[in-house]
Amino acid sequence: MEQQDGNRFRELLLTLGTIHEIKFSDDLIESWWFVLEPYTIEQVSNGVKRHLSDPNAGQYKPKPASIIAHIVGTDKEKIALDDANANLAWQEVIDAIRRVGSYNTPTFKDPLIGACVSSLGGWISLCGSTTDQLTWKGKEFCKMYTDYKDRPLDRLPSNIAGREDMQQLKHEQAQNITGLLENMQKHLGGA
């Protein structure tokens, strides 16, 4: 929150105090501000509204952590969301296996998918898995996906390529080596 949000924040707490019979002194308002300051006034306002309308938690006098839980969600909700996102990502991989196969290189909008595929042994290896193996690789993929989501992308593996791209890379490397050897022979032959 910003300093200009102070009056609106005070009004939110006074409303909360009226409903839950909490007397918000200046010191108490300052303490709540200190804890909730990282969030925008809109997030805090929505968190207060969610708390007040929550049939379970809304019955009790809130603490700042109660409002934060309604802003960011509980740990249980975060885990469920992470699991759902990981399963959706795995479904994208399965769809790409069917659509692209091992010869072409898939493209995924989510870079975490590429990192997980790479960690599972690469695209070609994954495409060569049996149905039973894919079941277990799916579980491993989902665990990796949730583990990787908080890591910086530049520290994650990301090289996935289909057979055609691998062949092209081998061809280019062979040409580079041939060119290097020819240059070395010219240099050594001309000396």
Contact 144, 119 (CB under 8 A): yes
Q: Is the pLDDT of residue 58 over 80?
A: yes
Position 191 scores a pLDDT of: 53
Q: What average pLDDT does range 27-48 have in this prediction? A: 93
Looking at per-residue pLDDT, the higher value among 131 and 183 belongs to 131
Interval 13-30 mean pLDDT: 91
- Do 45 and 12 meet the contact criterion of CB atoms below 8 Å apart? yes
Residues 6+ apart with CB under 8 A from 104: 162, 163, 164, 165
Structure tokens at 183: 């240059």
> Looking at residue 157, what is its pLDDT?
58
**156 pLDDT higher than 80:** no
The answer for residues whose C-beta is within 8 angstroms of residue 37's C-beta and 6 or more apart is 1
What pLDDT, on a 0 to 100 scale, did the predictor assign at position 79? Answer: 87
End-to-end CA distance of the chain: 72
Read off the pLDDT of residues 92-140 as tens digits, 9 standing for 90 and up: 999 999 999 988 889 888 989 999 999 899 999 999 999 999 999 999 9
Supply the pTM of this predicted model.
0.56
User: Which tokens belong to 6?
Assistant: 């102070």
* pLDDT for the residue numbered 188: 80
Q: Domain spans of the chain?
A: 3-73, 77-160
Q: State the chain's mean pLDDT as an integer.
A: 88
How far is it, in rounded angstroms, from Cα 140 to Cα 146?
A: 10
- Per-residue confidence (pLDDT) for residue 161, from 0 to 100: 62
Task: Write out pLDDT tens, residues 59-91.
Answer: 899 999 999 988 887 778 888 889 999 999 999
Separation CA 45–CA 69 (nearest Å) = 13
